Amino acid sequence: MTHEPDTSGSLSRERERARVRACSLRKLPTDAEALPWFHLRDRRMANHKFRRQRPIGPYFADFACIEAKLIVELDGGQHVEAAVYDADRTRFLEGQGYRVLRFWNNEVLMQTDAVRGRILQALLGGSPHPSPLPQAGEGARKDAAVLVDRQAREIPEGTTP
């Protein structure tokens, strides 16, 4: 009879440590964490469930929507020095299939509606690419023709010819 080592104990201890750490992080949120949590909790954002300080691998996501595979991270001043760590963390989370949105604490506190809008846009699948490609195909030719026609006739943009 072969005896396999019992690894469930060490795994259980790791999970318990992660649970305790997540719990302690949730107990003392910063102002920048409390504000978006008010808008994300209880399925208030497009009926998506978010979790706070969710362990994912070796990291803790500030806010995670498992169903939408979306993570919202808040960065304070300390993250300027931790840029390499944050980049590694983002790569890991993206490798797990998550999209990661990052906001500075002052963005969350001063531009709350804009931050909420970007999160909602990501949840609904309409997140703009930071450098979108120009439209291609038949639609692009039509738009270009209308633009050239408008310029030739000097018709103000936003009005119909």
Q: What pLDDT, in 10s, does the model give residues 25-52? A: 556 778 889 999 999 999 999 999 999 9
Mean pLDDT of the chain, nearest integer: 76
pLDDT at 9 over 50: yes
Looking at the fold, whether 18 and 39 belong to one and the same domain comes out as yes
Residues 10-19, mean pLDDT to the nearest whole number:
68
Helices 31-40 and 112-123: crossing angle in degrees, nearest 10, is 50
- Same domain, residue pair 79 and 92: yes
Residue 127's pLDDT is 47
Looking at the structure of the chain, the number of domains it has is 2
Contact between 33 and 105 under an 8 Å Cβ cutoff? The reply is: no
Q: Are 86 and 79 in contact (CB under 8 A)?
A: yes
Q: Mind listing the pLDDT tens digit for each residue in 63-73?
A: 999 999 999 99
Q: Are residues 61 and 112 in the same domain?
A: yes
- Which has more confidence, 152 or 12? 12
- The residue range of the domain holding 146 is 133-161
pLDDT of residue 76: 83
Residues 64 and 123 in one domain: yes
Residue 23 lies in a domain: yes
Alpha carbon 44 to its chain centroid, in Å, reads 16
For residue 75, what is the domain's CATH number? 3.40.960.10
Q: What pLDDT sits at residue 46? A: 95
Q: Each residue of 91-118: pLDDT tens digit?
A: 999 999 999 999 999 999 999 999 999 9
Tell me the one-letter amino acid at 111: Q
What pTM did the predictor assign? 0.64
User: How many other β-carbons are positioned within 10 Å of the β-carbon of residue 93?
Assistant: 20
Residues 103 and 160 in one domain: no
Shared domain check, 85 and 50 = yes
